[in-house]
Structure 1
């Protein structure tokens, strides 16, 4: 499944970067659960993932994800991304600064029947907040 996983995840990155609803429906099960740091309850299905993308695009309208590393084992996928964008909108209460960000994120996916059925994402939100000046960087 490594070639299949690679092809699938490249299409998934295309979905994240374009917010293409039709592509989301092809790749994500309707009842898939996505756990994100800003919400205690999971987001659900393609619409849930689009909600997470909207949160990021609210602060970083040009945000783009690049797949850096991928590990596929059976129905589990681990992916490391670099997320880049420009802070041009309010993000978690921090007004736009115009600063560019580049952070790492690790996401773990559960697959079934060729679709994502679950995801847990671990973006480097501390690094992001430091890059936009909301949190002091260590000295």
Structure 2
């Protein structure tokens, strides 16, 4: 696939994580794809694994939305910088809801094969997120 195809797929992927659409998950994510998640010893796998990641985020932030700010593509890889915005309305990492809003950056790296994501290394600013909900002191 071309760089332009992979970039197009990243825009569709943003639609997927904002909906989350099982149909788009099946289209965009290879069945054996692996997702390296900070704080988890073992990677998540396939469309169901990514839907579980989104479910965990939506459990704490039901209105969370991702905005793709920029991306760089080279070969079979895409680096993408996202801004996540949402309201802390559910328990997240053991911290009860605060109704505080968050605006957090994430820098993720993807590998594509045949127009599908086969690997992701996700790097959200978890410290910034936890500080914004008051779970960690800011100073």
TM beyond 0.5: yes
Distance 2:130 2:122 in 1: 17
SS at match of 1:58: helix
Deviations 1:63-100 (A, max 9, x none): 00000010000100100000000000000010000000
For 2:104, what is the secondary structure of its paired residue?
strand
What is the TM-score of this pair, normalised by structure 1? 0.96
Q: Secondary structure at the match of 1:79?
A: strand
Segments of 5+ residues of structure 1 without an aligned counterpart are: none
Please list every run of at least 4 consecutive aligned residues from structure 1 whose deviation after the TM superposition is greater than 3 angstroms: none
> Which residue of the partner structure matches residue 34 of structure 1?
35
Alpha-carbon distance in 2 for matches of 1:49, 1:137: 30
TM-score (norm 2): 0.96
Unaligned runs of 5+ in 2: none
Q: State the distance in 1 between where 2:27 and 2:91 align.
A: 31
Q: How does 1:33-72 map to 2 (within 5 A)?
A: 33-72=34-73
Count of residue pairs brought into register by the alignment: 138
In structure 1, the partner of 2:89 is 88
Deviation of residue 8 (structure 1)?
1.0
Q: For the residues of structure 2 that align with 1:6 and 1:68, how far apart are their CA atoms?
A: 13
Indicate the residue corresponding to 1:101 in structure 2. 102
Aligned CA RMSD, in angstroms, stands at 0.8
For 1:3, the equivalent position in structure 2 comes to 4
Shift of the alpha carbon at 1:5?
A: 2.7
DSSP-derived class of the 2:128 partner: helix
Q: Equivalent residue of 1:127, what SS? A: helix
Q: Which residue of 1 aligns with 2:129?
A: 128
